[in-house]
Structure 1
Amino acid sequence: MSKEQELQIAKLTTYLLPLYKKEFPIIFFWTPRSGCTTLMRWFFFQNGLLQKAMDYNPWVHSYRMEVFEKGNHYRADIIDQILAGKKDTYKLVRNPYRRAVSSFLASIDNDKIMKEIAPNYHNGFSFKEFLYLIRKIGVSKNQLNSHIAQQYDEGEEVIIKDYVRLENFSTEMKAIENKYRLLDSPILSISNSSHHLSGQMVEKGAFANVKMSLKPYGKTLPTYESFYDKETKELVRELFKKDFEKYGYNQTNITI
């Protein structure tokens, strides 16, 4: 393995650890706000750990962080396995237009993230203001909270060879199950999560400049498309240019 590959492995296991188990044929990379909760449920199901994880805490990230990743030499084992090249590597990715809105809604409902990106905003802000704040900070993972930062890690293709689009999750994960002779997972039930807001996003209109604070906003939210005008579309395209280009997403069409 080249020096470039070794450096890339170190980078890919610094901010977020991929999903790995010794007996499992795939190492799965992921990014927050890109379907990671669904992916983790699928991974734990495939490895006979989903019920254990849910019993520990219905929020499966708690089990991942506090139990699963705390196993002896978890990160070191991942690095060794990637170096050995015996497991296939995948990454789950999401359309940047939808993810930007998801990141915005997650941010205005998270005090920690708000203090990081907008400590002087006490009454919420608009999607457009959010994007300009990000532009000022920068979008790489070493600059910005990973729930907002770009998905792409510079040079990741040296290590990651296959990608799954969240928009095609059910179809592509079933293909993976068939390819590797994995368990037939209940994709629909695994995909249901109380923190998903898509079911509430029914209001149509012009919301790019509307100041929002999620907690008092109510039970319904604007549709993804309603957050976009010409300016916000251009901002997302600029900020997440590498996600669009590297993952092959259409830069002109926000309707998915």
Structure 2
Amino acid sequence: MPKKPMAKKRDTDSLGESAGSVVDVAINRLKERIEAGEFAPGQRLPPEMVLAGELELSRPSLREAVRALAMAGVLDVRRGDGTYVTDLRPDRLLRAIGSFLDLAHDTGLDEMLECRKVLEPGATALAATRIDEATLDALRGRIERMRTLHDPEELVREDLAFHADIVAATGNRTLESLLASVTQRTARARIWRALVKSDVLSWSHEQHMDIYRALRARDSLAAFTAAHRHVDDVEAWVRERLDAVREHSPEADAKGIRMEERI
């Protein structure tokens, strides 16, 4: 008799999604259980193998989800003892990480990402011709502080301040106001990125240093190039995840839309 085809696991590894998108799904499934009260504050989570089976996730995906939620302060990983839900209230959980699916439904986010890519590199190039020594010293201090931060919200807050200081150095208040509006609208997506991208600290430090060195040299072309690369990398990362989550949203599933294989 011919063998029956094996049923596909619900874990989106089987759908050909990127590893990052799989982690988004894993985080959301675990987050939903906590928000629903199935895991109460102070309660220890089931063993990894058991929980992965309950959530229909691979163990590597579950580990990444636990790591991200621990970074957000939602879970407490106690070496040799287990993983516990913290005593934080559910609204703190929602405020800390929200849902990437919520971001996917924000139709204005795509435009805000595009606006940032148009405005910020030009503003950084202009700042290179006008920035003073005190501001340069302050920027270097912010870069060093960012290296020590592990809370995603704090990291993004410092990152926003870094770029705001650069725009302020242009002396153009209209440009400053425009970019402040744009960057605030993209903050949640950047917090999520800081939460799930494991190398975000080293990546952020390297690219901020490139921008700083160009500003210090008063090289407007290098400043434009460094800022454009930085903004473009963030935009590409967010757009890739937005596309994956939109395609795998409940609305898309209801219409029978299937994920395309990604190489």
TM-score bracket for this pair, using the shorter chain length = under 0.3
Q: Which has the larger radius of gyration?
A: 2
Superposition TM-score, scaled by structure 1 size = 0.27
Higher strand share: 1
Higher helix share: 2
